[in-house]
């Protein structure tokens, strides 16, 4: 009898632990990522390729080791980190708005505006070391904030859907960037004149450490932004007001929180993150300005990064590293016989599984409400 009771206690304890894990956002995010890789592995096998090639490429990007050749090159790590920076910054753009109950689909447009302003400043601002690229980034941040603030104002003042507005402004940003950049002296159909060296984010130290990779000061700026995101959202009165607005706008309004200004601020800060991402790419990964023929898709991928990261600072950083790692590993996967599309499949599967997680939460809440209603009916 005692053994049966102990067995029941252990079973109840296991169920409790399982229930707690299912409610843990971090655990679920890790689970959906692993599930995405598992399904991708099956797909690779189905097309007649060896999935080990995929994991060898990932290992090489994360550590620099090429197992087949027995060669180590840290440059791969540097490139992986460099790819991750704009994903993380654009992820912050979505995550910050998401914490306030907004869906910022306009990260791409805000990114493009920041990139364009950074390119213009790189060409026309005085060539003063450090100050040159610093003010280029500051103006890129301001431009992105203004572009996002427009959406926030329209949403707060006139209840215009931020989804529709941001989608349309993405295309406005793209074609405005093309018009402005093509008008610059010395610009060809796809590039401007080279930037002065004072405008570049290249770090001699980081470049030397990573064997001449493109890793630059952007990685340090990203880390500072992650700390700022966390501190602003979790440790300040403004962050509390923004989170309260995201939980329930009506309750926040009756509690004396300025909902309208909260929405405008949230979209402006979101745009600032994306604009900074554009500036970092413009000055860190290229030595000249680009005439964009299409969107870079950092802003759109940033939506997936934020969703996987649960709209938190640390979660978004980790998710951004995941997407950056996949992007850096793509050419290595191809050399190992893995189709390049497998990277996009993994990214898509992760997002789908995250969406399923949210769907399951919705169904669970509906079932719980119905059960509560039945209990109340029985009590009457």
Flag whether pLDDT at 270 surpasses 90.
yes
Q: Which residues, in sequence order, are bridge partners of residue 65?
A: 72
pLDDT for 350 equals 86
pLDDT for 3 equals 53
Torsion of CA 226, 213, 61, 133, to 10 degrees: 20
For residue 297, what are the CA distances in angstroms to 15, 58, 274, 301?
Answer: 42, 22, 12, 6
Say how far apart CA 248 and CA 259 lie, in whole Å.
10
Say how far apart CA 110 and CA 116 lie, in whole Å.
10
User: Quick one: average pLDDT of 76-88?
Assistant: 97
256 CB-side CA count, 13 A:
1
Are the beta carbons of 49 and 337 closer than 8 angstroms? yes
HEC letters along the chain: CHHHHHHHHHHHHHHHHHHHHHHCHHHHHHHHHHHHHHHHHHHHHHCCCCCHHHHHHHHHHHHCEECCCCEECCHHHHHHHHHHHHHHHHHHHHHHHHCCCCCCCCHHHHHHHHHHHHHHHHHHCCCCCCHHHHHHHHHHHHHHHHHHHHHHHHHHHHCCCHHHHHHHHHHHHHHHHHHHHHCCCCCCCCEEEECCHHHCCECHHHHHHCCCCCCECHHHHHHHHHHHHHHHHHHCHHHHHHHHHHHCHHHHHHCCCCHHHHHHHHHHHHHHHHHHHHHHHHHHCCCEEECCCCCCCHHHHHHHHHHHCCCCHHHHHHHHHHHHHHHHHHHHHHHCCCCCHHHHHHHHHHHHHHHHHHHHHHHHHHHHHHHHHHHHHHHC
Chain segment 232-269, per-residue pLDDT in tens: 999 999 999 999 999 888 889 888 999 999 999 999 99
Are the beta carbons of 288 and 93 closer than 8 angstroms? no
**Confidence bin at 304 (pLDDT 50/70/90):** very high
Chain segment 122-162, per-residue pLDDT in tens: 999 999 999 999 999 999 999 999 999 999 999 998 999 99
Q: Which residues, in sequence order, are bridge partners of residue 71?
A: 66
Say how far apart CA 93 and CA 306 lie, in whole Å.
8
Chain segment 85-127, per-residue pLDDT in tens: 999 999 999 999 999 999 999 999 999 999 999 999 999 999 9
For residue 305, what are the CA distances in angstroms to 22, 114, 153, 347?
Answer: 20, 20, 25, 9
Nearest residue to 28 via CA among 364, 373, 294: 364
Chain segment 161-203, per-residue pLDDT in tens: 999 999 999 999 999 999 999 999 999 999 999 999 999 999 9
Flag whether pLDDT at 4 surpasses 80.
no
Which pair of tokens denotes residue 143? 């431009």
Flag whether pLDDT at 8 surpasses 80.
no
Question: Average model confidence (pLDDT) for the chain?
Answer: 90
Flag whether pLDDT at 21 surpasses 60.
no
Say how far apart CA 335 and CA 60 lie, in whole Å.
12
């Amino acid at each position: 009898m005692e053994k049966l009771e102990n067995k029941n206690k252990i079973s109840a304890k296991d169920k409790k632990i399982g229930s707690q894990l299912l409610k843990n956002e971090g655990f679920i995010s890790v689970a959906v990522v692993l599930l995405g890789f598992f399904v991708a592995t099956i797909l690779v096998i189905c097309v007649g390729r060896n999935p080990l090639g995929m994991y060898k490429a990932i290992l090489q990007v994360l550590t620099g080791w090429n197992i087949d050749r027995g060669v180590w090159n840290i440059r791969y790590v540097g490139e992986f980190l460099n790819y991750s920076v704009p994903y993380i910054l654009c992820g912050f753009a979505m995550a910050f708005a998401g914490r306030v109950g907004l869906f910022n689909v306009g990260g791409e447009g805000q990114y493009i505006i920041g990139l364009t302003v950074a390119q213009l400043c790189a060409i026309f601002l005085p060539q003063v070391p450090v100050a040159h690229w610093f003010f280029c980034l500051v103006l890129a941040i301001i431009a992105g904030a203004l572009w996002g603030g427009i959406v926030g104002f329209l949403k707060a003042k006139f209840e215009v859907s931020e989804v529709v507005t941001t989608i349309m402004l993405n295309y406005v940003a793209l074609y405005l960037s093309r018009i402005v950049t093509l008008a610059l002296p010395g610009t060809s159909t796809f590039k401007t004149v080279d930037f002065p060296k004072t405008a570049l984010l290249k770090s001699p130290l980081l470049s030397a450490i990573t064997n001449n990779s493109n890793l630059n000061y952007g990685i340090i700026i990203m880390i500072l932004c992650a700390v700022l995101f966390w501190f602003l959202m979790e440790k300040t009165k403004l962050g509390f007001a923004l989170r309260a607005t995201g939980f329930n706008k009506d309750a926040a309004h009756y509690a004396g929180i300025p909902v309208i200004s909260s929405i405008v601020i949230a979209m402006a800060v979101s745009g600032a993150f994306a604009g900074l991402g554009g500036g970092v790419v413009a000055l860190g990964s290229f030595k000249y300005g680009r005439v964009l023929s299409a969107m870079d898709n950092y802003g759109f991928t940033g939506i997936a990064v934020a969703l996987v990261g649960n709209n938190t600072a640390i979660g978004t950083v980790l998710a951004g590293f995941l997407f950056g790692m996949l992007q850096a590993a793509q050419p290595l996967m191809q050399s190992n016989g893995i189709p390049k599309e497998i990277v996009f499949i993994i990214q898509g599967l992760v997002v789908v599984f995250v969406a399923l997680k949210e769907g399951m939460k919705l169904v669970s809440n509906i079932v719980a409400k119905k059960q509560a209603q039945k209990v109340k009916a029985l009590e009457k």
